[in-house]
Chain A
Amino acid sequence: MLRFVVRRLLLLVPILIGLSILVFVWIRALPGSPADSLLGERTTPELVREYNERFGLDDPVYVQYWRYVKTTAQFDFGVSIATHRYVTDEIRERFPATMELAFAAMLFATFLGIPLGFVAAKRYGGPVDHASLFASLIGVSIPVFFLAILLKYVFAVRLGWLPSVGRIDVESDVEHPTNFYILDAIITRDWATLKDVIRHLILPAIALGSIPLAIITRITRASVLDVQNEDYVRTARAKGLPPRIVDRRHILRNALLPISTIIGLQVGLLLSGAILTETVFAFPGMGSWLRDAIFNRDYPVLQGGILFLAFVFVIVNLLVDISYAIINPRIRYS
C-alpha cells in the first residue's frame, strides 16, 4: 500500500509539469492580454506598452514559461494583476470556502443519491424508478446557474427561509482562524455560527450538487441492479439471511465500489461548477475568483489557481483509490 501511495505521489510530478504547460499555453492562446482587459476605455498604446514591459509579457514565451516554473517551484504563484494580492494568500483565504461548499454538495449528492438509486433499483420498473430517472435527467440537463437563480428566488426571495448571498451573516464578527468556518465553529463550540454557516451553504450546495446527485443516483441504480443478480447474493438469500442484511452487507457494499470512483471524479465537476455557483451566490471561494481572473486575463491567478485545483483533484482521486481497499478488502495494492 505504501509503495502504491509513493508511486502515485511521484506520478504527480510529470502530471503537474504537463498541466503547467497546458495551462500556460491555454491562457496565452486566449485573445487579448491583461493590459487590454484591465485598462479598458482608458487604454492608450503607451500604457499597453508600459504594462507589457512591466509584466514581462513582451519576453519570448519560453522565457516567460521558465520564469513561471522557477517561481512556482518555490510555491510563489506571483501577484494577481487585477487585485494586486499574492495568489498564495488568496488561495489560502478562498480554498477553504470552496472546499466546504464542494464537501457540502458532495454530502448532499451522496446521501441523497445512494438511497435514491438503491430504492430505484429495488423498485425496478416501478413508479419510484421512473421518477428517479426523470429527476436524474432534469438534474443533469438543467444548467447550474439557472438552478441556482431559481433556488434563490424561491427559498430566499419568495419564502425568505435562507440567505441569498455570502458565506456567513455579514454582521457576524466571529474570527475564523482556519478559514474553514464549519470547523472553526465546531472547535469553538459556537453553535449559532455553525447554524448560520450551514444556512448559507444549503442553497449553493444543492445547486452545485444537482449534477453529481443525478449521476450518483443513476450509477447506484445500475450497480445495485448488477450486484443483486450475482450468485453470492442469491446464495445469501437462499441460506435465509434477512433481506436487510443481504441489502446492506452483500448488495450495497459491493455496489459502492464503482460509486466511490464516480465520487472521486465528481470532484472535478464540483470545482468547475463552483465557478458558476459561487458567482451567483457571491460565495467568496476559488470559483468566483477564477471567473474574474478569466475575464481579466489575470495570468498569475489562472496559472496558480488552476494548477492548485488540479493538484487537489489528483490528490482526491488518490484518496479515492485508497478508499477502495477499505470498502472492498479483496482489493490490495502492492
Chain B
Amino acid sequence: MRGRRGLAALVAVLSTVCVLGTAGAATNTTFIYAGAADPTYLDPAIVSDGESFRIARQIFDTLVQLKPGTTKLQPGLAKSWRVSRNGKIWTFSLRRGVKFHDGTAFNSAAVCANFNRWYNWTGPFQDASASYYWRQIFAGFKRNEATGLSKSLYKSCRGIGRYVARITLNRRSGPFIPSLVLPAFAMQSPTAMAKYGANEGQLASGTFRPTGTYAFSHPTGTGPFKFTSWTVGQRVVLDRNNSYWGKRSAIARIIVRPISNNTARLQALQTGEVNGYDLVAPQDMPTIRNNSKLRLINRPPFNVAYVTINQAKPPMNNVLVRRAVAYGLDRTGVVNSFYAGRATVAHEFMPSVIPGYEPKVTKYSFNPERSKQLLRRAGLSLPVKIDFYWPTNVSRPYMPSPNLNAAAFKASLERSGFDVNLVSEPWRPDYVKHVNEGAGGHLNIIGWTGDYADADNFVGTFFQSNNPQFGLSGKGAHATIKKLLNQAEAMVNTAKRIKLYKQINKLLATYVPAVPYAHSRPGVGVERRVTGYKASPVGTESFYGVTVGGQ
C-alpha cells in the first residue's frame, strides 16, 4: 500500500514539473540555431572546420565577401580592389569609419597587421592543424619550418594612407581574391589579438593549442554580432553589434548550440527549441516539408560526387575504356532514384555556379551498346573484370546513399560489358585512405565539397598534381591539363581565366580521369517565421539579415 502511494507521489511530482514547465520563455529577437558540433576555436585564422567558420561569419568581416546566397564576389571591408599590370600588387580601397568590437579603428594598418601575422607565424602555428587555409592558398611562411611548405605567395603589405592597403605577392595568383572570402582570412583587431595572446600557442601532446585567451573568449572583429560567451557542449552566444558599419541587425542575439545527432536536431526544430538548423539529413526533408510551421531552404549545389577511374590499374590507362565506363554508368538513373529530387546530373567536376563552368562539354549519357563497342575497340574481350569500391558508414550531401549508388552502377556497368566486383570498406578509417592513395579499386565512389568559389578549388585540387586517386602520371593529355591548370592559377585576368577553365573542362570531358555524376542541394531547416535566411553555397553563412517572427 505504502509502495503504491510512493509511486503515485513520484508520478504526481513528475507530472507537476512537466506541466509547470511547458510555457516557453523564448524572446522573439533571439535566433537559436543548431550546428553539428562546437567550434574548435573562435580565432578564424587557426581553424578550418565548418562549425568554427559558422561562428566566425557572424563576428568577423572579410575584405571581399560573397553576395548572400550566391558565389558572386562583392565588396566587404574593402570597397574596391585593383591589380597592377604585372598581376602581383593588389590595392584595396578600404571602408571608412569601421570599428572593431573593442572600439579600435579598422584601417590599412589593421589589414597589414593581419596579413603579417599569418605570414610571420612560426613553430606550432605552421602546423597544418593551425594554419590549414594559409598553407593551402599562400603555400608558405616567411621562414618555413614545417615540412611540405614552399615559398610564400604573400610578400608584403603596405598602408598608403589610412584607407588604402597594398598587398604584394611573390607571383600572380588567380585564387587570391576569391579565397579572401574564407573566414580564415577575416580581419581581426590587432589590439585585441596582442592583448589576449592570439599568437601564443603550443603543440601539446602533438596537437596545436592556443595558450592565450583570444581564441576562447576574446574574438574581436568588425562583424554584425559581437562575441558574448561560449559554454562548451552547450552554446555560443553572440549579441548584436550596435556600432556595425552597415544597417543594424534585426535580431538582438544569436545562440548557436551543438547537436550532433541528426534526429535530435530535427526534433529540436519541431519543438521550437531551435529556430533553424543545418545539415538536414535527406530522410528528414519530407518531415520538414510536410510541417506547416517549418520550411526547407535549399543550399545552392557546391559539391560534386564522382566515380574515380584509377589509371594505374590497367586497362583503365586506356582512354577508350574510361569512356566506356562513362557510357556504362547510369548517372541519370542514380540521381533520379536516390537523391529525392535534390540533385542534378553532373557533367563536370565543378558546379555550374562557379565561373569557368562550360555547358558545352562532351556528355556521356547511359549507352550500354556504345560502351561495349569502345571496349571491343580497345581490344578487350567482354566482360571486362573490374573492382568497384564504395564506402560504408557514411552519408554526405553529395552521396546520401553510397550503397544504393554502387548497386545501381554495378547493374548498369554489367549491362555495358563489365563484370563488376563490388567491394565495400568503412569510410573511416579505410576507404578514404585507400582511394586517396590509389589503393582502392579500378572505380571508386567519392566526392568533394568546395571551400571557396573558384575553379581552382575543384579542378585544381583534383588534377593539378599526379593525384594517386586517379592514378595520374603527368604525361600525355594529363601533362597538357596540368600545364593549363598552372597557367589558370597564375592568371589574374578574370575573363581570360574563365576561358581557360572552360577549355580545361572540355579537355577533362574527353580525357575522362573520372566520371562526375551528381551535384546535390543540401538543406537548411528553419521555422516558417524565420525570414531573410539566405543559405550560402559554401556551407555556412552570416545570419545578418535574418528576422524571427517579423521582428
Interface positions of A (Cβ within 8 A of B): 31-33, 36-37, 39-41, 43-48, 50, 54-56, 71, 78-81, 83-86, 90, 93-94, 97, 111-112, 114-116, 118-119, 149, 152-153, 155-157, 160-171, 195-196, 198-199, 202, 244, 248, 279-282, 284, 288-289, 292, 295, 297, 300
Taking a contact as CB atoms closer than 8 A, the residue among A41, A71, A202 that contacts B448 in the complex is A41
Given A81-B207, A84-B41, A244-B2, A165:B267 Cβ within 8 A = yes
Name the A residues within 8 Å of B233 (CB-CB).
Answer: 93-94, 97, 284, 288-289
Q: Fill in one digit per residue for B110-135: 1 if any A CB lies within 8 Å of its CB, else 0.
A: 00000000000000000111000000
For chain B, the bracket of interface size reads 35 or more
A80 touches B207 (CB 8 A): yes
The 10 closest A-B pairs by CB, nearest first: A32-B429, A284-B233, A115-B3, A78-B205, A55-B206, A36-B429, A282-B259, A199-B21, A161-B18, A54-B206
- Give Cα A67–Cα B273 distance, bound, in whole angstroms: 45
24 A-B pairs with CB atoms under 8 Å apart are A31-B426, A32-B433, A40-B428, A50-B127, A54-B127, A56-B206, A78-B207, A84-B209, A86-B209, A116-B7, A156-B271, A161-B19, A164-B264, A165-B257, A165-B267, A170-B234, A170-B257, A171-B25, A196-B21, A202-B14, A202-B18, A244-B2, A279-B264, A280-B261
Name the A residues within 8 Å of B30 (CB-CB).
Answer: 171
B381 within 8 A of A: no
B153 within 8 A of A: no
- Give Cα A90–Cα B281 distance, bound, in whole angstroms: 29
Name the A residues within 8 Å of B20 (CB-CB).
Answer: 195
- Give Cα A284–Cα B260 distance, bound, in whole angstroms: 10
B3 touches A157 (CB 8 A): no
Name the B residues within 8 Å of A295 (CB-CB).
Answer: 428
Taking a contact as CB atoms closer than 8 A, the residue among B207, B209, B264 that contacts A280 in the complex is B264
A32 touches B273 (CB 8 A): no
Q: How far is the CB of B62 from chain A (nearest CB, A)?
A: 22
Taking a contact as CB atoms closer than 8 A, the residue among A46, A111, A282, A300 that contacts B147 in the complex is A46
Counting chain A CB atoms within 10 Å of each CB, the highest count among B209, B270, B433 belongs to B433
Taking a contact as CB atoms closer than 8 A, the residue among B17, B270, B468 that contacts A157 in the complex is B270
Main secondary structure on chain B at its contact with chain A?
Answer: mixed
Q: How far is the CB of B294 from chain A (nearest CB, A)?
A: 12
Taking a contact as CB atoms closer than 8 A, the residue among B21, B26, B207, B273 that contacts A166 in the complex is B273
B41 touches A279 (CB 8 A): no
B429 touches A162 (CB 8 A): no
Name the B residues within 8 Å of A31 (CB-CB).
Answer: 426, 429-430
- Give Cα A244–Cα B19 distance, bound, in whole angstroms: 34
Interface positions of B (Cβ within 8 A of A): 2-4, 6-7, 10, 14, 17-22, 25-27, 30, 32, 37-38, 40-41, 127-129, 146-148, 203-209, 232-235, 255, 257-261, 263-264, 267-268, 270-271, 273-274, 426, 428-430, 432-433, 436-437, 446-448, 468
A119 touches B4 (CB 8 A): yes
Given A166-B234, A170-B273, A284-B234, A43:B205 Cβ within 8 A = no
Q: Which residue of B lies closest to A46 (CB)?
A: B148
Name the A residues within 8 Å of B7 (CB-CB).
Answer: 112, 115-116
Q: Which residue of A lies closest to B438 (CB)?
A: A45
Q: How far is the CB of B456 from chain A (nearest CB, A)?
A: 15
- Give Cα A79–Cα B41 distance, bound, in whole angstroms: 14
- Give Cα A119–Cα B261 distance, bound, in whole angstroms: 39
A165 touches B436 (CB 8 A): no
A164 touches B273 (CB 8 A): yes
A162 touches B234 (CB 8 A): no
- Give Cα A166–Cα B273 distance, bound, in whole angstroms: 10
Name the A residues within 8 Å of B206 (CB-CB).
Answer: 54-56, 79, 81
- Give Cα A53–Cα B30 distance, bound, in whole angstroms: 45
Name the A residues within 8 Å of B426 (CB-CB).
Answer: 31
B261 touches A164 (CB 8 A): no
Q: Which residue of A lies closest to B39 (CB)?
A: A83
B128 touches A280 (CB 8 A): no
Taking a contact as CB atoms closer than 8 A, the residue among A56, A111, A169, A281 that contacts B264 in the complex is A281
- Give Cα A58–Cα B271 distance, bound, in whole angstroms: 48
- Give Cα A46–Cα B19 distance, bound, in whole angstroms: 58
- Give Cα A66–Cα B39 distance, bound, in whole angstroms: 32
Name the A residues within 8 Å of B428 (CB-CB).
Answer: 32, 36-37, 40, 295
Name the A residues within 8 Å of B37 (CB-CB).
Answer: 292
Known: A31-B430, A48-B433, A195-B21. 9 other contacts (CB 8 A): A37-B429, A84-B41, A112-B10, A161-B19, A163-B271, A170-B257, A171-B26, A199-B21, A282-B261
Q: How far is the CB of B42 from chain A (nearest CB, A)?
A: 12
Taking a contact as CB atoms closer than 8 A, the residue among B3, B127, B205 that contacts A119 in the complex is B3
- Give Cα A196–Cα B20 distance, bound, in whole angstroms: 10
Name the A residues within 8 Å of B17 (CB-CB).
Answer: 195, 198-199, 202
A282 touches B268 (CB 8 A): yes
- Give Cα A84–Cα B27 distance, bound, in whole angstroms: 34
- Give Cα A157–Cα B265 distance, bound, in whole angstroms: 12
Given A46-B148, A84-B209, A279:B260 Cβ within 8 A = yes
Name the B residues within 8 Å of A40 (CB-CB).
Answer: 428, 432
Q: How far is the CB of B7 from chain A (nearest CB, A)?
A: 5
- Give Cα A160–Cα B433 distance, bound, in whole angstroms: 45
A170 touches B32 (CB 8 A): yes
Q: Which residue of B lies closest to A281 (CB)?
A: B264
Counting chain A CB atoms within 10 Å of each CB, the highest count among B2, B127, B234 belongs to B234
Q: Which residue of A lies closest to B22 (CB)?
A: A161
Q: How far is the CB of B228 from chain A (nearest CB, A)?
A: 9
Q: How far is the CB of A201 from chain B (nearest CB, A)?
A: 10
Taking a contact as CB atoms closer than 8 A, the residue among A84, A164, A279, A284 that contacts B271 in the complex is A164
Q: How far is the CB of B451 from chain A (nearest CB, A)?
A: 10
Name the A residues within 8 Å of B258 (CB-CB).
Answer: 282
- Give Cα A289–Cα B233 distance, bound, in whole angstroms: 9
- Give Cα A164–Cα B270 distance, bound, in whole angstroms: 10
A85 touches B232 (CB 8 A): yes
B267 touches A199 (CB 8 A): no
- Give Cα A327–Cα B334 distance, bound, in whole angstroms: 66
Taking a contact as CB atoms closer than 8 A, the residue among A44, A83, A116, A160 that contacts B38 in the complex is A83
B25 touches A164 (CB 8 A): no
B203 touches A54 (CB 8 A): yes
Counting chain A CB atoms within 10 Å of each CB, the highest count among B4, B255, B447 belongs to B4
Q: How far is the CB of B202 from chain A (nearest CB, A)?
A: 9
Name the B residues within 8 Å of A165 (CB-CB).
Answer: 257, 259, 264, 267-268, 273
Q: How far is the CB of A92 from chain B (nearest CB, A)?
A: 11
Name the B residues within 8 Å of A39 (CB-CB).
Answer: 432
- Give Cα A98–Cα B32 distance, bound, in whole angstroms: 25
Taking a contact as CB atoms closer than 8 A, the residue among A46, A83, A119 that contacts B40 in the complex is A83
Taking a contact as CB atoms closer than 8 A, the residue among A46, A81, A118 that contacts B3 in the complex is A118
B273 touches A111 (CB 8 A): no
Name the A residues within 8 Å of B41 (CB-CB).
Answer: 84
A164 touches B268 (CB 8 A): yes
Q: Which residue of A lies closest to B255 (CB)?
A: A170
A43 touches B267 (CB 8 A): no
Counting chain A CB atoms within 10 Å of each CB, the highest count among B17, B22, B40, B147 belongs to B17
Given A119-B4, A160-B271, A166-B257, A282:B264 Cβ within 8 A = yes
Given A43-B433, A115-B6, A79:B207 Cβ within 8 A = yes
A43 touches B18 (CB 8 A): no
Q: Which residue of A lies closest to B27 (CB)?
A: A171
Q: How far is the CB of A217 from chain B (nearest CB, A)?
A: 12
Q: Which residue of A lies closest to B40 (CB)?
A: A84
B267 touches A152 (CB 8 A): yes
- Give Cα A46–Cα B150 distance, bound, in whole angstroms: 14
Name the B residues within 8 Å of A170 (CB-CB).
Answer: 32, 234-235, 255, 257, 273-274
Q: How far is the CB of B41 from chain A (nearest CB, A)?
A: 7
A79 touches B3 (CB 8 A): no
B22 touches A84 (CB 8 A): no
Name the B residues within 8 Å of A196 (CB-CB).
Answer: 21
A297 touches B429 (CB 8 A): yes
